[in-house]
Amino acid sequence: GNSVTQMEGPVTLSEEAFLTINCTYTATGYPSLFWYVQYPGEGLQLLLKATKADDKGSNKGFEATYRKETTSFHLEKGSVQVSDSAVYFCALVNQAGTALIFGKGTTLSVSS
Amino acid sequence: ETGVTQTPRHLVMGMTNKKSLKCEQHLGHNAMYWYKQSAKKPLELMFVYNFKEQTENNSVPSRFSPECPNSSHLFLHLHTLQPEDSALYLCASSTRPGENYGYTFGSGTRLTVV
């Protein structure tokens, strides 16, 4: 079956630190991969996506590269801000899929 | 405002009550979804609708009853719920099921069953 595994949180960083949140997946064929972000009290917002191997998705300083050889889609940011504090979800849709499949989410807390 | 509106934002109901959650989108999307978000668990897909027709029911108990009268509106009717059903219920929409442009989510309804 299809599944997404994210690193356990919470991740606690100081402002301007480097961020990595690991995500690996299991899927048939060539899934599309996504990162969503959920700020407190809100729904999920699409952060970035990649639809084929070696694609790099990027948005708001965040990046993730679709690595088929390691079935990974790790989220990175070079310098986090307090406003990046949120829950981050890795997700996939496989080629024959009907809906997004999510990981458990990773809570990021950034302090000044 | 994301384009997907959910009401109410918060709901407290007893186990014998009947209530409904509402979701509305005017993005021109044809697919709509209900997800359940519980603490420490992945988001759980509950139902998928495409052009008003239910295309997926992810083994959801019958005490949850969805309704999709048109492509812009989706309801989740609740009856005889259990305390473990307390969660954030998220509605989402997309142009088609599984499409790779991403989904638009509402802000959710925080449900507490007492």
pLDDT for the residue B22:
98
pLDDT of B6 reads 97
In this complex, is the C-beta atom of A29 within 8 Å of any C-beta atom belonging to chain B? no
Nearest Cβ partner for A98 among B48, B90, B104? B48
Beta strands in B26-98 (DSSP E): 31-37, 44-50, 53-57, 64-70, 73-79, 87-94
- In whole angstroms, give the CA distance from residue A45 to residue A34: 11
pLDDT at B2: 66
What pLDDT is attached to residue B18?
95
Q: Any CB–CB contact under 8 A between B48 and chain A?
A: yes
Q: How far is B76 from chain A (nearest CA, A)?
A: 17
Q: In angstroms, rounded to a whole number, what is the distance separating the alpha carbons of residues A57 and A50?
A: 5
Residue B100 pLDDT: 73
